[in-house]
Structure 1
Amino acid sequence: MTPVGGTSTGTGAGAAVRRLDLGWFVRPDSETGDGRPRVEPALAYLVDHGGELLLFDTGIGAADPETDAHYRPYRRPLPAALADAGVTPADIALVVNCHLHFDHIGGNPLFPGTPLLTQRAELALARAGGHTIEELVDFPGAVFEELDGEAEIRPGLWILPTPGHTAGHQSLVLRRPNGTVILAGQTHTSASDFAAAELAARARAAGAGEPLPEPDPWVERLLALDPRQVLFAHDAAVWEPLSG
């Protein structure tokens, strides 16, 4: 499997990652912060961990007419994206969703009986109503494994809570011999936004005077893992450290 960056690591060198293009949507000007609409990708990630295949997010789901009119999505079927990688939905052993909004769980119903890892707080939000498209959550055969905080789900694969976009947002951390890779989902809209948060944390650690941006508490937790790459759900750009 061809990874996002660099060459294939092979079975003995940790998890390899392949980015999947699952379409796009148009974020309206009311949500972008700069008064202009923006087209954003819907990205998922296929992880090969020693021959076991995991999927981080599953694309844009079917929504009601009002939501479709608001975001004008183009959906690329998940089976087609997986076929490009030489696999099928039946090959996936585990699904991890960064959160349960409809643009991250669209392909979940393709995985009845497959464990779906989510934070307990996120699943509670989804089931309370008004958070997502409910038919994409408790579909026939849905099997959730609920987490309360950090968890090592496989040797070298960690789930870390990264709340902010939603209360139960989580990221997937891949500890690899050639450096840590973080699948950060929608912790930030873009790699540039994450870079700004990283620099703010660096400035604070260096004793820069106030005022400074107030960081999310988990940003320092992610940076303590010394990531080599951070990948996002709605930005094809990849964050990498300025040095090292």
Structure 2
Amino acid sequence: MRDIGVRRVDYGFFVRPAEETGTGRARVEPAFGYLIEHPDAGVLLVDTGMGAHPEVDAWYRPVRVPLGKALAEADGDVGRVKVVVNCHLHFDHCGGNAELAGRPVFAQRAELALARAAESHTLPELVDHPGARIEEIDGEAEVFPGVRIVPTPGHTAGHQSVVVRRRDGVVVVAGQSHDNATLFTSDVLGRHAGVGEQPAWLGLLMALDPKQVVFAHDNAVWTPGSSHVSLP
């Protein structure tokens, strides 16, 4: 029997302006989604790419890979996607949702409330587009056997990650729980050392003993620390 597959989908990149990086310098970041292919239940897609809007384009200067092309390059197909999970509803994570109209989209109640507020943090037309089929959840939810949504609030109040229990270990698709693997590492080590403040959900994720944690805006993959490493 085949294991559950997890493959990265490359939607292009954008420029995060200096005002948002905390470093005083602009930073180029990738925009990734993840295909989760269950041998029995079908294909789940985490995040759908970057949406377009004149103000967004002027601020972030995105270079997009269209949904169909991005999926094809990851050996996927739009027609095979059965379920969508957006880690949150910013433009760079739900931009292709409308191309998957009719497919259930799982989102946290808190995230939908933010997206639909008068002072929205996203582009509303990317969320409640024609044919949108939103499955509103409040907490954890098992979407496929061995594939579970876990709330990981912080970047937004309704941010969520996807935990995949493979035979060879747990993979966490952490979206933008952290901007990159280095920040995730810092929080994990800080938790062990009792230094700083880490999100309450971090203990839950680490209790799953993840083999890998992957992110929406970083090529790097977090793996647990080990003393059994071959060094040159």
The normalised TM-score by structure 2 is 0.94
Q: Which runs of 4+ in 1 moved over 6 A?
A: none
Which of residues 184, 207, 223 in structure 2 aligns to 1:194? 184
Residues paired across the two proteins, number: 225
In 2, the alpha carbon distance for the partners of 1:74 and 1:86 equals 21
Cross-structure match for 1:105: 94
Residues 1:78 and 2:61 aligned together: no
- How far has the Cα of 1:85 moved from its partner? 3.2
3-state SS of paired residue (1:23): strand
Which of residues 155, 179, 182 in structure 1 aligns to 2:169? 179
Cross-structure match for 2:7: 18
1:144-176 CA-to-partner distances (Å, cap 9, x unmatched) read 111110112221111100000000000000011
The code of the aligned residue for 1:34 comes to T
Contact 2:48 2:96 in 1 (8 A): yes
Between 1:51-60 and 1:187-196, the stretch displaced more is 51-60
The code of the aligned residue for 1:214 comes to E
- How far has the Cα of 1:87 moved from its partner? 3.2
Cross-structure match for 2:207: 224
In 2, the alpha carbon distance for the partners of 1:86 and 1:177 equals 22
The code of the aligned residue for 1:50 comes to P
The code of the aligned residue for 2:181 comes to A
- How far has the Cα of 1:103 moved from its partner? 0.5
In 2, the alpha carbon distance for the partners of 1:183 and 1:87 equals 17
Residues 1:28 and 2:17 aligned together: yes
* 1:135-154 → structure 2 map (5 Å cutoff): 135-154=125-144
Cross-structure match for 2:149: 159
Between 1:69-78 and 1:84-93, the stretch displaced more is 84-93
Which of residues 51, 58, 75 in structure 2 aligns to 1:61? 51
Identity %: 57
In 2, the alpha carbon distance for the partners of 1:12 and 1:91 equals 17
In 1, the alpha carbon distance for the partners of 2:29 and 2:8 equals 15
Structure 2: where are the runs of 5+ without partners?
Answer: none
Cross-structure match for 2:81: 92
3-state SS of paired residue (2:59): helix
In 2, the alpha carbon distance for the partners of 1:87 and 1:220 equals 33
In 2, the alpha carbon distance for the partners of 1:194 and 1:16 equals 23
In 2, the alpha carbon distance for the partners of 1:82 and 1:23 equals 12
Which of residues 221, 228, 232 in structure 2 aligns to 1:238? 221
RMSD: 1.2
The normalised TM-score by structure 1 is 0.89
Residues 1:127 and 2:110 aligned together: no
The code of the aligned residue for 1:68 comes to D
Contact 2:153 2:177 in 1 (8 A): yes
In 2, the alpha carbon distance for the partners of 1:155 and 1:75 equals 32
- How far has the Cα of 1:56 moved from its partner? 0.3
Structure 1: where are the runs of 5+ without partners?
Answer: 1-10, 205-211
In 1, the alpha carbon distance for the partners of 2:92 and 2:135 equals 20
In 2, the alpha carbon distance for the partners of 1:70 and 1:84 equals 28
In 1, the alpha carbon distance for the partners of 2:34 and 2:74 equals 11
Between 1:22-31 and 1:123-132, the stretch displaced more is 123-132
* 1:3-14 → structure 2 map (5 Å cutoff): 11-13=1-3
